[in-house]
Amino acid sequence: MSKVIVAAFGVSMDGFAAGPDQSLENPLGVRGTELMGWFFPTKTFNDMHGDGGGTTGVDNEFAARSFVNIGAWIMGRNMFGPIRGPWPDESWKGWWGPNPPYHVPTFVLTHHARPPLEMEGGTRFIFVTDGIQSALRQAKEAAGKKDVRIGGGTSTVRQYLQAGLIDEMHLVLSPVLMGKGENLFAGLDLHVMGFKCVERAASEKATHVVLKKTGGA
């Protein structure tokens, strides 16, 4: 059955899933890339970016899994780009160049309408202005029997969690102290929401956990 998932989502020891002050230079916020230190060396990441090579251990297995059976993505506007407010023009096409790593319909939450954007490799960015429920409805329809992956950022994941709409989360806990930024857990009681750790594996760099909603505490 089609699920709504979060995957390969990096979190610091103190609960932050992004650093502060996102900008063109720091798409994940200041020091946010430290949360993805487990991901960049993997074969999966290197294949995506055409460099070849890369590691093949636990980190790569989870990285590869995070792209399997995904029929649609949803992301917040900040994950799509650093621009705030109305779109000045249509020149910003995401952080990822002409061929983004999604290859399926990708729904971008925004308050500002914009026509869909066809990219190379099958990625189609669709801009949704009527809220997270609408984006999920459209994403599920596009995904068919496949899963919908909520890409991020933190605020988007939190909104879907609060609405009770996420079935499964693969988090990657890195030994990093962020101190400030966007906290994934603050004010959310994932235990009461029914999430439990159903899988855990540690690599040299990070600890992978899979949390599944099992139907209430």
The site for a second copy (CB under 8 A) is made up of 11, 13-15, 31, 171, 173, 175-180, 185-186, 188-193, 195-197, 200, 202, 207, 209, 211, 217
When the beta carbons of 121 and 175 are compared against a second copy, the nearer one is 175
Q: Are 102 and 73 in contact (CB under 8 A)?
A: yes
When the beta carbons of 121 and 179 are compared against a second copy, the nearer one is 179
| Cα 181 from Cα 44, distance rounded (Å) | 27
Provide, rounded to whole angstroms, the least separation between the CB of residue 2 and a second copy.
Answer: 24
Provide, rounded to whole angstroms, the least separation between the CB of residue 34 and a second copy.
Answer: 10
Q: Are 149 and 70 in contact (CB under 8 A)?
A: yes
When the beta carbons of 38 and 73 are compared against a second copy, the nearer one is 38
Provide, rounded to whole angstroms, the least separation between the CB of residue 201 and a second copy.
Answer: 9
Provide, rounded to whole angstroms, the least separation between the CB of residue 93 and a second copy.
Answer: 33
When the beta carbons of 113 and 177 are compared against a second copy, the nearer one is 177
Give the strand order in the sheet containing 70-76: 117-118, 124-128, 105-109, 70-76, 147-152, 4-11, 168-173, 207-213, 195-202
| Cα 215 from Cα 204, distance rounded (Å) | 33
| Cα 39 from Cα 37, distance rounded (Å) | 5
Provide, rounded to whole angstroms, the least separation between the CB of residue 212 and a second copy.
Answer: 11
When the beta carbons of 79 and 178 are compared against a second copy, the nearer one is 178
Supply the DSSP symbol for 121.
Answer: G
